[in-house]
């Protein structure tokens, strides 16, 4: 055996061992996480892998993603080329081409050559982007666009490609290979003048560079953000098949723990997520808290979990206290409380992440710990929690006032077996003076369309959305159980809500409590009524220029983007105008996740940011489909002195006006 080959075999063996050991170490850390079943429904999971990993659906949502798409597929193809390369190094006289039909062998050579030049091009684009045109969101306080790590990995890939070409070109120039490699051949022409020995030497140097960089690259993966090359595909397989906003229930019994205060309390999937983050920064870019200078950055949450895991993981596994707290004064590996309370649970992070990391649920788990094990939360929430428990509404208004808005409607009690739809009015619809108009509008619309509907009246309770998102699962569980048993007792089969938060809670969260019935948001019902001709609308242009703001809980959390737009089209004769950021990229009003009941202590105000964005379109009417959005948009306009210029209306109000 030639010396070279022996040396290579030794280096190869050490590298592979070291690579596997690093992977084992990382996976061992993941294994300390709490159990969570992400193995069910394999077909749906494989479909996810196809769509998100191989078709790169989320990656391609942004233009630059195309570069990554090409690089991803180049990697897949070159896996084969590199496998051939390594085997050739280990076994003398091995030739992949010899094993394959001639045509296929030629085809592969052609493919490898072209793909390599594409990969080199992609790396160059990435270099230029990181060095000269880097978007703001690539950097954050723990990394920057042109970080050593990012540039090193790009340099490694470029080196691999260049060495690959040099090696092949030298072989072609030596006449050792029948060329089916156009790029290498072109390069070989340049090498023609060199002597045979020099070409031999060049080939050897290129081979060794390629071999060593390849092994180095492999070993670098598990120790860097490029771990995602190994974990992103499985992460897509283990994605949440439920809406990530619907969090698992907790078990309330003696000795149980609630939420997460230490890294091993996260599920193994949460920990796997943390090792999968590619640091692309898209979540950070879209996060309303981060955009308005709050201390929350979803990508940092994931990074901090990773750092905490790497530092404390082994100690925690053995039951020792880690040296780094998970919650505390902000530093790398520790998440501060203000960040935890800044989240609006809008879901922008989870819906934009190309690797399907679930950032927001990790924050809610921290809240669950703070509320339920520490009773440690912003002052304003004490009142909210007490109001919810004592009076089942966030304002603490007497439950007897729940039906006050319906005075002129007569008795509209839901009659089991007779009434078709239960109109779940919701706390805002029943108690908030502005939103009572929306309630009346919806009642008018349903009457005009001849819908059979009724209400629970004073028996209606809060759905518990805010307490759940705020981490008060104990109180939520009580509310959910009471509501589900009431809805079952009344034999309710169809519900319509005017609030996306009630809608989402009744539809998704209550499934965990055994309630699986048809739940509609009013945009869906009105859309159906208009489309089936049950609702006669006189399209009116009195609204001026209309713009529609997506509610996160209707849009991102329930994929309902078109229904409210269709309603506005039916009522005004044309589709509403759009915000710069709309649909999946919509920007929260700032009130979700219980933030409605919290002061915005730092940074600028989220609702002002959104209202300013609206003003870029110069609307006359700003349409919403959610009571919280209504409050936030109206307040924002008032704060900017635009209260008289722009009206905020719910889609139901616009529809009701079109009835006349």
Distance CA 228, CA 225 (A): 6
Looking at beta carbons only, is 470 or 506 nearer to another protein? Answer: 470
User: Which one of 52-60, 128-136, 374-382, 403-411 is the stretch in contact with another protein (CB under 8 A)?
Assistant: 374-382
Burial class (CB in 10 A: 0-12, 13-18, 19+), 261: middle
Looking at beta carbons only, is 278 or 393 nearer to another protein? Answer: 393
Looking at beta carbons only, is 391 or 647 nearer to another protein? Answer: 391
User: Which one of 116-124, 383-391, 410-418, 600-608 is the stretch in contact with another protein (CB under 8 A)?
Assistant: 383-391
Least distance (Å) between residue 224 CB and another protein? 40
Least distance (Å) between residue 471 CB and another protein? 11
- Token readout for 311 is 């530092």
Least distance (Å) between residue 390 CB and another protein? 6
Among 105, 396, 457, 573, binds another protein (CB under 8 A): 396
Under the criterion CB under 8 A, does residue 249 sit at the interface with another protein?
no
Among 375, 531, 602, 639, binds another protein (CB under 8 A): 375
Under the criterion CB under 8 A, does residue 539 sit at the interface with another protein?
no
Distance CA 636, CA 590 (A): 11
User: Which one of 94-102, 345-353, 382-390, 530-538 is the stretch in contact with another protein (CB under 8 A)?
Assistant: 382-390
Report the DSSP pairing between strands 546-548 and 453-454: unpaired
Under the criterion CB under 8 A, does residue 274 sit at the interface with another protein?
no
Name which of residues 463 to 482 contact another protein (CB under 8 A): 474
Under the criterion CB under 8 A, does residue 351 sit at the interface with another protein?
no
User: Which one of 52-60, 91-99, 369-377, 622-630 is the stretch in contact with another protein (CB under 8 A)?
Assistant: 369-377
Under the criterion CB under 8 A, does residue 385 sit at the interface with another protein?
yes
| Cα dihedral 443/447/449/455 (nearest 10) | 60
Among 391, 501, 521, 595, binds another protein (CB under 8 A): 391
301, 362 contact by CB (below 8 A): yes
Under the criterion CB under 8 A, does residue 398 sit at the interface with another protein?
yes
Name which of residues 286 to 325 contact another protein (CB under 8 A): none
Distance CA 334, CA 324 (A): 7
Instruction: Tell me the number of residues near another protein by CB under 8 A.
Output: 23
Within a 13 Å sphere around the CA of 614, how many CA atoms are in the beta-carbon half?
A: 34
157, 176 contact by CB (below 8 A): no
Among 76, 90, 252, 604, binds another protein (CB under 8 A): 252
Under the criterion CB under 8 A, does residue 258 sit at the interface with another protein?
yes
Looking at beta carbons only, is 95 or 390 nearer to another protein? Answer: 390
Residues near 507 by Cβ (< 8 Å), separated by ≥ 6?
519, 558
Any alpha helices (H) in 133-195, and if so which ranges?
Answer: 148-173, 182-191
Under the criterion CB under 8 A, does residue 379 sit at the interface with another protein?
yes
How far CA 545 is from CA of 116, 372, 409, 504, 650, in Å, comes to 52, 47, 32, 30, 15
Under the criterion CB under 8 A, does residue 254 sit at the interface with another protein?
yes
Under the criterion CB under 8 A, does residue 399 sit at the interface with another protein?
yes
Q: In 3D, which of 546, 565, 575 has the Cα closest to residue 648?
A: 546
User: Which one of 2-10, 43-51, 137-145, 398-406 is the stretch in contact with another protein (CB under 8 A)?
Assistant: 398-406
DSSP per position, 41-60: -HHHHHHHIIIIIIS-TTGG
Distance CA 539, CA 541 (A): 7
475, 388 contact by CB (below 8 A): yes
Least distance (Å) between residue 249 CB and another protein? 13
For CA atoms 501, 503, 509, 510, give the dihedral sign.
Answer: positive
Looking at beta carbons only, is 208 or 474 nearer to another protein? Answer: 474
Q: Which residues bind another protein (CB under 8 A)?
A: 252-256, 258, 371-375, 377, 379, 382, 385, 390-391, 396-400, 474
């Amino acid at each position: 055996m030639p010396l070279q080959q022996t040396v290579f075999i030794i280096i190869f063996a050490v590298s592979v061992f070291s690579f596997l050991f690093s992977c084992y170490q990382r996976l061992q850390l993941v294994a300390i996480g709490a159990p969570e079943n992400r193995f069910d429904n394999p077909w749906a999971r494989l479909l996810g892998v196809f769509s998100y990993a191989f078709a790169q659906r989320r990656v391609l949502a942004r233009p630059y993603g195309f570069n990554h798409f090409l690089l991803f597929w180049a990697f897949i193809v070159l896996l084969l080329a590199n496998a051939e390369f390594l085997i050739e190094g280990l076994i003398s006289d091995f030739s992949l081409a010899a094993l394959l039909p001639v045509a296929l062998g030629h085809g592969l050579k052609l493919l490898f050559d072209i793909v390599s030049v594409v990969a080199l091009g992609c790396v160059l684009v990435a270099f230029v982007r990181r060095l000269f045109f880097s978007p703001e969101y690539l950097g954050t306080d723990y990394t920057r666009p042109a970080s050593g790590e990012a540039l090193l990995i790009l340099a490694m890939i470029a080196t691999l490609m260049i060495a690959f070409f040099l090696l092949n070109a030298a072989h072609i120039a030596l006449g050792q290979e029948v060329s089916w490699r156009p790029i290498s051949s072109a390069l070989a022409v340049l090498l023609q003048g060199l002597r045979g020995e020099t070409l031999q030497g060049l080939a050897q140097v290129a081979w060794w560079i390629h071999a060593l960089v390849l092994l180095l690259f492999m070993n670098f993966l598990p120790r860097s953000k490029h771990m995602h090359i190994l974990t992103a595909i499985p992460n897509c397989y283990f994605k949440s098949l439920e809406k990530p906003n619907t969090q698992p229930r907790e078990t309330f019994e003696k000795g149980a723990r609630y939420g997460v205060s230490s890294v091993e309390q996260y599920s193994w999937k949460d920990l796997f997520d943390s090792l999968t983050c590619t640091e692309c920064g898209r979540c950070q870019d879209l996060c309303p808290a981060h955009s308005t200078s709050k201390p929350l950055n979803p990508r940092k949450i994931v990074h901090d979990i990773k750092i905490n895991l790497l530092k404390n993981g082994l100690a925690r596994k053995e039951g020792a206290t880690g040296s780094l707290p998970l919650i505390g004064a902000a530093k790398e590996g520790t998440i501060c409380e203000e960040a935890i309370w800044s989240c609006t649970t809008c879901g922008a992070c989870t819906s934009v992440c190309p690797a399907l990391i679930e950032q927001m649920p990790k924050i809610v788990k921290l809240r669950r710990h703070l509320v339920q094990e520490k009773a440690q939360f912003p002052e304003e929430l004490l009142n909210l929690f007490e109001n919810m428990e004592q009076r089942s509404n966030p304002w603490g208004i007497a439950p007897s006032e729940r039906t006050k808005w319906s005075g002129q409607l007569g008795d509209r009690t839901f009659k089991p077996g007779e009434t078709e739809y239960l109109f779940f009015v919701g706390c805002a619809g029943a108690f908030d003076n502005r939103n009572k108009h929306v309630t009346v509008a919806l009642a008018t619309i349903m009457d005009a369309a001849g819908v059979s509907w009724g209400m629970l009246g004073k028996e209606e309770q809060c759905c518990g959305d805010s307490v759940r998102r705020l981490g008060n699962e104990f109180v939520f569980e009580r509310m959910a159980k009471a509501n589900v048993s009431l809805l079952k007792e009344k034999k309710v089969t169809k519900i319509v809500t005017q609030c996306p938060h009630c809608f989402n809670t009744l539809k998704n969260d209550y499934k965990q409590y055994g309630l699986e019935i048809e739940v509609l948001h009013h945009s869906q019902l009105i859309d159906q009524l208009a489309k089936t001709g049950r609702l006669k609308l006189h399209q009116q242009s009195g609204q001026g220029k209309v713009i529609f703001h997506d509610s996160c809980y209707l849009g991102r959390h329930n994929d309902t983007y078109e229904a409210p737009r269709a309603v506005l089209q039916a009522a005004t004769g044309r589709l509403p105008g759009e915000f710069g950021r709309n649909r999946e990229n919509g920007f929260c009003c700032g009130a979700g996740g219980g933030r409605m009941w919290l002061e915005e202590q730092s940074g600028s105000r989220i609702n002002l940011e959104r209202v300013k964005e609206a003003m870029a379109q110069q609307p006359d009417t700003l349409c919403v489909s959610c009571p919280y959005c209504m409050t936030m948009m109206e307040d924002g306009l008032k704060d900017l002195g635009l209260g008289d210029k722009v009206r905020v209306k719910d889609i139901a109000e616009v529809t009701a006006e079109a009835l006349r």
